[in-house]
């Protein structure tokens, strides 16, 4: 598909092994990007890259712990050596946490910060110098919790608020370098994390609680990773050339509709 929306682009997707990251990586491949699938679990990254290649796309897998700056810098150098100059970065890698400020331990907070905040910084720190002089598109995965309070998500909301403000900062600092930086703020999306959370906390009641969580979205259901991926393609494509410094909600109306 030489006329794909991302044809000729090299795209780095972190956390590409599963969930939203995998859906983004696979759709980027279908849209003719050369995809660098990064994940701390190399087997999952390789599986995603294999899926892209089986569909006729171009992809390579790279092991990367986004919380370790030296490893991130090495991974980005390897991407350039294998695939060429980087045009797109999707900061998707992240972990979740359930708890209030009282129940969140120091270790919990440090882990969330290391991956969700420092991990995004590490990848921005690696990618921006490579994009300066050429331009590029950066997309960060924030959350509806960046701007809306939800019970029992203290540390996770903290981290996604940081992702939102990092997005604004990078967009401001590098707009004259031709680097666009935006973020997506999903509501509840049906990923393996949701299934694992329900199995752990509501054994035997998974279906009931899944429906309850789905109904918290005004639209009446959770989103799908593929829906997030379609928005990611648009924001990283030349069709969105006039969009930077934006936080785009994709949450079934959660943040704004009171129904």
3-state secondary structure of 39: strand
pLDDT for residue 6 is more than 90: yes
How far is it, in rounded angstroms, from Cα 191 to Cα 194? 6
Q: Per-residue pLDDT averaged across 19-37, rounded?
A: 98
Residue 258: per-residue pLDDT: 65
Q: Between 102 and 192, whose confidence is greater?
A: 102
Q: 259 falls in which pLDDT band (50, 70, 90)?
A: low
Least confident segment among 34-38, 121-125, 150-154, 230-234? 150-154
* Predicted confidence (pLDDT) at residue 197 exceeds the cutoff of 60: yes
Task: Give the tens place of pLDDT for each residue, 45-76.
Answer: 999 999 999 999 999 999 999 999 999 999 99
Q: What mean pLDDT do residues 231-254 have?
A: 97
Of 112-121, 164-173, 211-220, 234-243, least confident by mean pLDDT is 211-220
Q: Which fold has domain 10-187+224-250?
A: Rossmann fold (3.40.50)
Mean pLDDT for 82-108 is: 96
Return the domain boundaries, the chain. Answer: 10-187+224-250, 191-222
245 contacts 40 by C-beta, under 8 angstroms: no
Give the catalytic positions in this structure: 156
CB 17 within 8 A of CB 39: yes
Residue 201 pLDDT: 82
Predicted local confidence at residue 147, as pLDDT: 94
> Can you spell out the DSSP letters for 148-198?
S--TTBHHHHHHHHHHHHHHHHHHHHHGGGTEEEEEEEE--B--HHHHHHH
Sheet of 136-141, strand order:
58-63, 34-39, 10-14, 88-91, 136-141, 179-186, 247-250
Looking from the CA of 27 toward its CB, the CA atoms found within 13 Å total 20
């Amino acid at each position: 598909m030489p006329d794909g929306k991302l044809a000729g682009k090299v795209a780095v997707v972190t956390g590409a092994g599963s969930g939203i990251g995998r859906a983004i990586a696979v759709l980027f491949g279908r849209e003719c990007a050369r995809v660098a699938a990064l994940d701390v679990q190399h087997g999952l990254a390789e599986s995603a890259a294999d899926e892209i290649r089986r569909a006729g796309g171009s992809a390579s897998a790279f092991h990367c712990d986004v919380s370790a700056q030296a490893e991130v810098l090495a991974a980005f150098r390897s991407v350039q050596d294998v695939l060429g100059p980087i045009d797109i970065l999707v900061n998707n890698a992240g972990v979740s946490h359930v708890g209030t400020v009282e129940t969140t331990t120091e270790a919990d907070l440090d882990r969330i910060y290391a991956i969700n905040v420092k991990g995004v910084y590490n990848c921005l720190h690696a990618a921006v110098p490579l994009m300066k002089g050429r331009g590029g598109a950066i997309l960060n995965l924030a959350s509806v919790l960046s701007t809306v309070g939800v019970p029992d998500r203290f540390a996770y909301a903290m981290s996604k608020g940081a992702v939102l403000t990092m997005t604004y900062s990078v967009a401001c600092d590098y707009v004259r370098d031709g680097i666009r930086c935006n973020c997506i703020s999903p509501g509840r999306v049906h990923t393996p994390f949701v299934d694992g959370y329900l199995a752990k906390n509501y054994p035997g009641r998974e279906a009931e609680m899944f429906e309850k969580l789905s109904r918290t979205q005004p639209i009446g259901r959770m989103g799908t990773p593929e829906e997030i991926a379609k928005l990611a393609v648009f924001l990283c494509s030349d069709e969105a050339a006039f969009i930077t410094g934006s936080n785009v909600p994709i949450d079934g109306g959660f943040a704004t509709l009171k129904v």
